[in-house]
Structure 1
Amino acid sequence: MDEMYDNSKRTSFFKKDVSLETALSDLNELIDGIECPIDTNESQSPIILIMGCPRSGSTLLLQWLAASGLFSYPSNLIARFYKNPYLGIRTQQALLEFDPLNQLGFKETKLDFSSSLGKTYGALGPSEYWYYWRTFFKFENDSQILSQNQLAKVDGKKFIDQLLAFEQLTNKPLALKGMLLNWHIPYLYSLNQKFIFINVNRDPLLNAQSLLMAREKFFGDRNKWYSFKPSEYKELKDESPITQVVGQVIYTRKAVSEGLSQIPMENIINIEYTDFCSNPKKFLDALVYKFNKLGGNIESKNVDQDLLKPFDERKDIKLSDSEVKFLREELIRLSNN
């Protein structure tokens, strides 16, 4: 079993609750296949997909897009209805959004920017939504790479059609993470030519260090692989933890870059995490321009001005001098392979 999915290998905070998992499985088996009134012929806005390495700033970016008020997004509540987004959205509206007297006691809280390895807090916190993606894309243990035969078996139309519920029920275009398919960007584009792929990149040294720290936080062990596995995983699996995380960053970035090179530039936004943190408004302006050029209709004038202020980017080095030296050497070596 892949260590990421072996509950016994996780630290206590990240262990899955068996009772919750059973309840969610039962619930989603019941709602799977329920026909919902999604109009697949209705004009659709572009859908925002965040791509890139794990620990590159994707969670903050999704939280920021959610807080802007311009986009719908899969919340932690909606994500629990992963086999039927329509019912998840309607449930959230009935319990939270359309309860002005707060009869149920579920007060809406303002979104914040806290998270723990991609996990946000509160019913309205943005979810990575991987359970939904994994309903359609069946990955095997060693990587997130699917063969053409495997992709041919995916019900791509249903995958897209169910996402249409977000815009149709909220009147806001959808933004979500798509990093599980970093290695299949042209395939995603073939399903929907209105995807906007936001490729977020972080300083490779800081990205690799963060992946190493994530291993300690998630497993309590640097030797266990955390998050997505590139196609080069078999070459990396017997290397040192530092070499592994460096390779994870370099090969993932390479795969995303190669995938994006096969689709039109009008569907792509490349953003450095440090640039986003220092000037969110510049990023927003670029996003609004590309979004509307692809047939969307959003305006940035009503976005909370506090969201346009710079973020503090954490750049602290937590590794020893010798570890940093080795990490830098591996970045050079593997970049030149």
Structure 2
Amino acid sequence: MPTSSSSVQPTERPNRKFYGNFKDPVGLISRLLCRGGTVGKHLVVREALTQFVKPLDNWLKVSERSLLAQDFKTDFPLLLIVGPPRSGTSLLHQVLASCLDVSYFTNFNAMFRKSPLSAAKYFQKRLDPGPVTGENLYGNTSGFRGVNDAFHVWNRYLGIERYDAMSALDSSTARKMRQFFHVWTHITSKPLLNKNNRNLACTTLLSELLPNAHFIAVHREPVYVAQSLLKAREWVQGNRKVGWGLSSVDSSATGNPMDDVEAVCRQVAANERLLKRQREQISSERWTDVSYESFCENPQTIIREICERHPSIKLRSPERIASVQPFANTNQDRLTDDEVDRIRRLLAACEEVPVN
């Protein structure tokens, strides 16, 4: 972004960790229960149950170590959905998990933070989220079979900072990560599908460490990504001045009434540059671009195209994909005219961010 007086200077990204990623946890719980619908209520219940199953989770650590010690080697592909937050990655994740015959990390599995492999082996080996509903809340879904971002897995190897990612791993951690996914695909006997926005920052690293990984990158018109990020800040953090999502920073305390708009535009620009840089370093055979707008208009076509690129991945059933109808495209101005105009001008000033 330009560094003229009309632009907020970059600020240092805070070291947010675990619940520190959320600046208003009490308010967030209230919003989840009162305004979060089915997904919000399920998320609160699931977090409570996670505490309840902790003794079982700890007990299963012995089994987890035993599984990880096994010399499993599989060649199932790992389909990793990446993209900037608020670009449509969650919707694609839900639809592909419903239509493709793959394994995925579930909301139930996420309750077993220390023993996800054992939980999959003993309690939830059959994985099918059912027909597509498209209902999600800032990346969260409802139901114990619902898809999950799997921070409980990725944090083991990539750290617990959600808004940035590690650029390198030591050999021991890299080996453990590879082994984890070998064991997962051995247990499920299926390819793995997962979406995690943070992984956009380290797709090059993951491509080197996970030879079977293939990346599906979701793109959305940046103006609407910026608007949606502002709404997410307000909903999740309770304050548009507080950063949320990959590459975010808090707004500078300048007294500028639009410093939150400018901070979000910097975030969007940073993620677009990040996406471009990662894509340039990964072979086209391992990278698929998906437009959010095109996916909403014709999801069945996108699903079939992904299957064609990965012949080892099959559809669950013709009936399941036939049931997927076009989705409402949420690209619409939801802020004031001045804010939308400011977003468009700031993004247009950044050469790396295409603006229609």
TM-score (norm 1): 0.82
Query: How far apart are residue 252 of structure 1 and its match?
Result: 0.8
- Aligned twin of 2:344: 328
Query: How far apart are residue 22 of structure 1 and its match?
Result: 4.1
Contact 1:4 1:227 in 2 (8 A): no
Change (3 A) 1:216 1:36: same
- Aligned twin of 2:283: 264
- Aligned twin of 1:105: none
Which secondary structure state, in structure 1, belongs to the residue aligned with residue 108 of structure 2? helix
Q: Which blocks of at least 5 consecutive residues in structure 1 are unaligned?
A: 99-107
- Aligned twin of 2:114: 83
- Aligned twin of 1:216: 234
Which secondary structure state, in structure 2, belongs to the residue aligned with residue 76 of structure 1? coil
User: 2: CA distance between counterparts of 1:136 and 1:247?
Assistant: 28
Query: How far apart are residue 44 of structure 1 and its match?
Result: 1.6
TM-score (norm 2): 0.78
- Aligned twin of 1:4: 21
Which secondary structure state, in structure 2, belongs to the residue aligned with residue 122 of structure 1? coil
Contact 2:200 2:275 in 1 (8 A): yes
Task: Output one character per residue of 1:278-300: Cα deviation in whole Å (capped at 9) or x when no partner.
Answer: 122321232112212xxx35357
Which secondary structure state, in structure 1, belongs to the residue aligned with residue 191 of structure 2? coil
Q: Which blocks of at least 5 consecutive residues in structure 2 are unaligned?
A: 1-14, 34-43
Change (3 A) 1:247 1:64: same
Q: Which of 129, 143, 150 is equivalent to 2:150?
A: 129
User: 1: CA distance between counterparts of 2:171 and 2:318?
Assistant: 43
Percent identity, please: 23
Q: What is the number of equivalent residue pairs in this alignment?
A: 317
User: 2: CA distance between counterparts of 1:21 and 1:170?
Assistant: 23
User: 1: CA distance between counterparts of 2:69 and 2:324?
Assistant: 34
Q: Which of 181, 185, 193 is equivalent to 1:175?
A: 193
Most deviating of 259-268 and 1-10: 1-10
Contact 1:73 1:166 in 2 (8 A): no
Change (3 A) 1:13 1:36: farther
- Aligned twin of 2:306: 287
1:58 aligns with 2:89: yes
Alignment of 1:18-97 (within 5 A): 20=49, 22-23=51-52, 26-32=55-61, 34=63, 35-36=66-67, 40-93=71-124
- Aligned twin of 1:207: 225
Query: How far apart are residue 87 of structure 1 and its match?
Result: 1.5
- Aligned twin of 1:102: none
Most deviating of 199-208 and 20-29: 20-29
User: 1: CA distance between counterparts of 2:137 and 2:207?
Assistant: 30
User: 2: CA distance between counterparts of 1:85 and 1:336?
Assistant: 39
Q: Which amino acid aligns with 2:314?
A: I
- Aligned twin of 2:209: 191
1:319 aligns with 2:340: no
- Aligned twin of 1:144: 164
